[in-house]
Amino acid sequence: MVVALTWQWLYDPFFGVINYYLKQLGLIRGPTAWVGQPNSEIWPIVIVAIWRGLPFMALMLLSGLQAIPAELYEAAKVDGANLWNRFRYVTVPQMRTVTTVVVMLTTMWWWNSFDLQKIMSPVSNIGNKTMTLPVLAWYEAFDWHHLGRGAAISVISLVVMLVIMIWNVRREMRSVTE
């Protein structure tokens, strides 16, 4: 909640730092409403979600890089592999499992990032370009009193995420056993 409110203030059309600096650089002429309007785009919220998830992704990938044995790089170097080939044939295959886990977790968190969308774009307008499935399910169920539709959207969203995750896990398990 603190992240969403802080970024909502940063995006504020009149007192926000982003509008101030963009106006100083001459990139915009007047106050621009980035979030919270029926015609707002989803990209400012995506930027906030990336900013919020970047430390986790960086730590996970760094731990995966540190787990790669130095002997593999030395063996590749002895075999005559340059920097690009060591990255391509040693680092990428060794990081595949960690990358898959990070991408799956991040996808699940972003798919269900209800808090950022609801706080930063609190418009209950179906034409809102920032409305994703979790937010739509909430509006259907609690704002528009269509409990059945809200439940159906939530269940369909769950099934889609399960199919994607099961497919990724099976693909990763096949590559590990090979």
Asked which of 74, 95, 116 is the last residue of a domain, the reply is: 95
Dihedral sign from CA coordinates of 90, 94, 99, 102: negative
| Structure tokens given for 48 | 């906030």
Domain extent, residue 73, equals 40-95
Phi, psi at 11, each rounded to 5°: -85, 0
Average pLDDT for residues 35-57, to the nearest whole number? Answer: 83
Q: What is the pLDDT of residue 148?
A: 96
Contact at 8 Å (CB) between 51 and 2? no
Residue 30 lies in a domain: no
Residue 116 domain-assigned?
no
What whole-number distance in Å separates Cα of residue 27 and Cα of residue 174?
A: 50
**Does 166 fall in a domain?**
yes
Residue 154 lies in a domain: yes
Number of independent structural domains in the chain: 2
Comparing 155 with 120, the larger pLDDT belongs to 155
Q: What is the pLDDT of residues 66-75, one digit of tens each?
A: 999 999 999 9
Closest to 131 (Cα-Cα) out of 40, 50, 9, 10: 40
Q: For residue 47, is it within any domain? A: yes
65 assigned to some structural domain: yes
Q: For residue 144, is it within any domain?
A: yes
Q: What is the pLDDT of residue 130?
A: 65
In this structure, is residue 168 part of a structural domain?
Answer: yes
Mean pLDDT of all residues in 135-161: 90
- Please give the pLDDT value at position 127: 54
